[in-house]
Structure 1
């Protein structure tokens, strides 16, 4: 069952006009901002399917940009995202792609700041709900609707168990977990959705574990 309550069907409190094209887009942008850990200097939005065809009329462009600026779906500043971006010295571009994607509401976000770069692919699946399907080439299934921990690590025996052990010690329940790797024995990515927010001290403890190279969290 996709929706657990009538409130999920209605979607989040949001600036309109569309839960899929506006609220979902803003949430994808916000997750991208959280994963990047700071505001980028430049962002490229590659739009696919209906996002590419209707992004201006449905406010998808404003919503995506507002999310990158750190605005939530109900933030009144979303409607002034272009002005806010200019004030924040954030440059951006929207590119309409003709390539067929696996979902009609798809965007690839590419962010840059000095020598730091990150890319992710997000889809808006309706009712303001989203899924992040790719991060820096790693395939994943991050909903963005629950607190989550992303752990980049060396693909070694015991790495996953050590992270799970820390979470169990802190009494943090894992709702969903998956691991993606590009090549056996190389770099891998853990995506762990949890039932409650995770303190920075816990993230720091995880980051000190053997084989762990980077730890990031996504807020609900």
Structure 2
């Protein structure tokens, strides 16, 4: 067995990433799936371990940023164009090179993280800007200011001119910290957001599988991880 392959697979599991599909990638969107229930959210692994803040960000959004009108539509309580909580426009740029690079396993076309939409996208979750200080303390409390997992999660919405929220997505930064990970980008349904609104924070985190313990393996210590598993495989 290839030890490096085993170790890489273990690292991918720890990162919450799925193996890349070995087929031609077509279409214009790379959303990983739809979260309809708490079980779906738990299985997705989104924001599940300390110091990540994604689950708490999602809870705040469901409880405090939106409301449901008499028609069951999601309506934003605030105007994201005003920049509160550091909500700002999200440019749905291609996540891959558009040069149609051909490899032995796939043809990579010009794909976008989210579906093309007539309504603008807005993103929130970056804890660095001063405006994010308006987020609740429970969302921000584990933010370190370092290049670690404490600022990797984001929430994206599409908004109609009348303030109705069309779609809600959760995502996370890829390993490079610059782009977003399509395999860990999910649409969150209105039904799930309604369910979250009916929960207390501690109960929501428990049902979503949140762990208050940091992962044993840290992604920056690749050489140490490699050495550890090489020793393990010799046993």
Same fold per superposition (TM over 0.5): no
Return the TM-score normalized by structure 1: 0.25
TM-score (norm. length: structure 2) = 0.24
Question: Higher strand share goes to which structure?
Answer: 1
* Greater RCO (CA < 8 Å, at least 6 residues apart): 2
